[in-house]
Amino acid sequence: MIKFKKFDVFKIKYFSTFLTAFCLAAVVVTAIIINARLSIDDQLYITKEHKSEFYKKFTASILSQEEFLGNMYSDDYKFNIYLGGLYQTIENFEKAEFYYKRAIKLAPDATFEHYLKLMILYLENNKPELAEEVEASIENRNTQRLIRFKCSANILLADYYYKHNEPVLANKKYHSAEYFFDKLKVRKVKIREYITNGILASNVKIADNYVTQGNYYEAYRYLKRAEKAAPGNLTVKYKLALVLSYIQPMKSIEYFEVIKAKEPQLASFYLYYETLMRAADICRVRGDIPSSKLYTYKASSIKNFYQNNIINNDNVEFDFLQSKIQTSKKFDKFILRFRIKNISNYNISNMKLDILIYRKGHLSASYTKTLFDKTPLRQNETSPIINVIHTGTKHYKKIAYPDISFEIYIYKNEKYKTLVYKGDFGSSLISEY
């Protein structure tokens, strides 16, 4: 009987709170709806900033009852987490921190949600040292919940350091996350992929920093770690080819050959050609004339292959003058105006250009044009203005074009298309006629 009575009181307590919160929310929402309805003619479209402001006002109205609700449930750790989250929404750092810390004191030892909430709060306010203290404050124990928390906490820290251009610290935290992830009995594939990608990206970023310093040996060391994390990643292999072209040309050629076989438009013809010639010179100095001749022959072959098949970012430079949409009642015109400069060491002819237009991430239209078929674009020469006008069916009744973007690919051979430019049609460029 006693147990049933306690349970009944518990139910009544929560039910009464639910009714109180519901009534308060109903009053607030009704007031907001009436106010919004009165001004609906002036605000046909609501921006993300307006929505954010709306949520903040709504949250603040709930928090105005904090004292009343807090007196009822001040000893409930979940309620304190909830209040902390509300204060975080309205960017009241001190109050959010207070309630998260109170939740930590009240919560059972086996729960860790509140620790993560506090860490996120600190990281959002650029206080990583406090977030580190929260993670370190919990001693390692062989429980799955704790291990899962440690894995998540290290991912949070790693992401923060990577975003703030501290790849060495990010790399360390991603490896810590991997350590705890491997201890989990139930492992989600998506989390494994996320950690692996983090390790890959941070290693590449560290290598890039060393390349800017001219320290190719250290860059090579971290790129090899990246290759170990993602053996099939061609971008990493290409970066290895570039770094090795300075310190081990023969080894570099091995990576260039992989790129040529799988995605040749990724590689720079100039560097590939120069690396082969550098290897030929090294062999000639060593007295290995047959190998020198072999590398020289390969260099000549590569030159012909690229000139006849591949155009990439190292061959041309785009100068965009205009991107706009003209609208009418029946159709839309997508207009692009740009010039192209030949920055390669040979003339470019019969270059094809594909333009893909996307609406909200989905392919909406495509356009193909052949350039320099009659007159080649010579070295260091800039083309006349190129106008691309694509007429498409109308998708919107009003002049509102959210998320319309385009991609430009160039190529000589259909097999080897190279993405050279990504842009968007900004709403400020939309015009009527």
Q: Which residues of 118-146 are buried (b: 16+ CB within 10 A; e: fewer)?
A: bbbbbbeeeebeebbebbeeeeeeeeeeb
Helices (H), 74-112: 77-89, 93-106
Q: Are residues 327 and 394 in the same domain?
A: yes
Asked if 352 contacts 369 with a C-beta cutoff of 8 angstroms, the reply is yes
Let me know whether 238 and 293 are in one domain. yes
> Of 309, 327, 352, which residue constitutes the final position of a domain?
309
- Does 27 map to a domain? no
pLDDT at 37: 41
Q: Is residue 219 part of a domain?
A: no
**329 and 270 fall within a common domain:** no
| Contact present, 395 and 332 (Cβ < 8 Å) | yes
Verify that 191 and 69 share a domain, yes or no.
yes
Are residue 304 and residue 415 in the same domain, yes or no?
no
Give the CATH number, domain containing residue 197: 1.25.40.10
CB 226 within 8 A of CB 200: yes
Residue 81 sits in the same domain as residue 184 = yes
Q: Phi-psi category of 91—alpha, beta or left, where left has phi over 0 and alpha has psi -120 to 50?
A: left
173 and 250 both lie in a single domain: no
Element (H, E) at 429: none
The CATH number of whichever domain residue 418 belongs to comes to 2.60.40.10
Q: Are residues 296 and 417 in the same domain?
A: no
Write down the pLDDT at residue 321: 86
Residues 67 and 184 in one domain: yes
Residue ranges making up the domain that contains 185:
45-205
**Same domain for 304 and 322:** no
362 to 140, 221, 277, 336, 355: CA distances (angstroms): 47, 40, 45, 20, 14
Does any domain span residue 12? no
pLDDT at 124: 92
Assess if residue 221 is contained within a domain: no
Q: Does some domain include residue 225?
A: no
Residue 23 has a pLDDT of 53
Residue 260: inside a domain:
yes
Tally the domains of the chain.
3
CA distance 246 to 251: 10
Give residue for tokens 């124990």. Answer: 141
If asked whether residues 256 and 329 sit together in one domain, one would say: no
**The last residue of a domain, from among 277, 309, 341:** 309
Domain contains 33: no
pLDDT digits (tens, 9 = 90+) for 83-141: 788 777 777 888 888 888 888 888 776 678 778 889 999 999 999 999 999 999 887 77
* Token pair belonging to 176: 């810590």
195 and 65 in one domain?
Answer: yes
> 110: closest CA among 138, 76, 80?
138
Per-residue pLDDT of the chain (433 residues; tens, 9 = 90+): 444 444 444 444 444 544 454 454 454 444 444 444 434 334 433 444 444 554 555 555 554 555 445 544 466 777 777 778 877 777 788 888 888 888 888 877 667 877 888 999 999 999 999 999 999 988 777 788 899 999 999 999 999 999 999 999 999 999 999 999 999 998 899 999 999 999 999 999 999 999 999 999 999 999 999 999 899 999 999 999 999 999 999 999 999 999 999 999 888 888 899 999 999 999 999 999 999 999 999 999 988 888 888 888 888 998 888 888 777 777 778 888 899 999 988 899 999 999 998 887 788 888 899 999 989 999 999 999 998 888 876 655 554 455 678 899 999 988 889 888 887 775 434 333 3
CA 340 to chain centre: 29
Which residues are CB-neighbours of 411 under 8 A, at least 6 positions away?
265, 311, 351, 352, 354, 417, 418
Residue 324 domain-assigned (yes or no): yes
